[in-house]
């Protein structure tokens, strides 16, 4: 299932609107998986927030819900590449976003789009269900003999 969401330019509601649209799409494909949903909402919110903060919000979010992962692509009109930086918790200026995305997704790619703009790409694998515990070994039940 693929989904495209236009990023609203009003900074106040962009996060809520995007999270709502992404959450609904995810729940249609993988209902009852709150940890995966939370991971996806976090991974999506970081590049969307950066697009709004640094490129004015005019852009798109593309999701592809695949059998084993979600492909995420956030495009905006800025050609300035995002640079990971050390977070400064005391300054309140962020800096954790790309680190969080990379922790959950692995490498984050950024491509410059022909003409103008860039796209930030990430792939969030679904969590694997825990392996079933092996049943404890039990001695075989002796068979009753009937004569």
What is the tens place of the pLDDT at every residue in 65-114?
Answer: 999 999 999 999 999 888 877 777 777 667 788 888 999 999 999 999 88
Model pTM?
A: 0.79
Query: Residues for the chain: how many in total?
Result: 147
Q: Where in the chain are the domains?
A: 2-125
When the candidates are 1.20.140.10, 3.30.565.10, 3.40.50.970, 3.20.20.140, the CATH number that belongs to 2-125 is: 3.30.565.10
Please tell me the predicted confidence (pLDDT) of residue 133: 60
Is the pLDDT assigned to residue 18 strictly greater than 70?
A: yes
- If pLDDT is split at 50, 70 and 90, which confidence band does 145 have? very low
DSSP annotation string for 97-143: HHHHHHHHHS--EEEEPSSS-EEEEEEEEPPPPPPPPPPPP-PPPPP
């Amino acid at each position: 299932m693929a989904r495209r969401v236009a990023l609203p330019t009003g900074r106040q509601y962009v996060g809520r609107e995007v999270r709502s649209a992404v959450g609904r799409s995810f729940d249609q494909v993988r209902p009852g998986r709150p940890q995966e949903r939370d991971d996806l909402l976090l991974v999506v919110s970081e590049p969307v927030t950066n697009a709004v903060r640094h490129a004015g919000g005019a852009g798109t979010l593309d999701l592809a819900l695949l059998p084993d992962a979600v492909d995420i692509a956030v495009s905006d009109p800025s050609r300035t590449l995002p640079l990971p930086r050390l977070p400064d918790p005391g300054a309140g200026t962020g800096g954790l976003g790309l680190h969080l995305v990379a922790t959950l997704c692995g490498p984050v790619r950024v491509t410059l789009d022909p003409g103008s703009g860039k796209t930030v790409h990430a792939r969030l694998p679904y969590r694997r269900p825990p392996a079933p515990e092996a049943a404890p070994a039990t001695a075989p039940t002796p068979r009753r003999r009937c004569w």
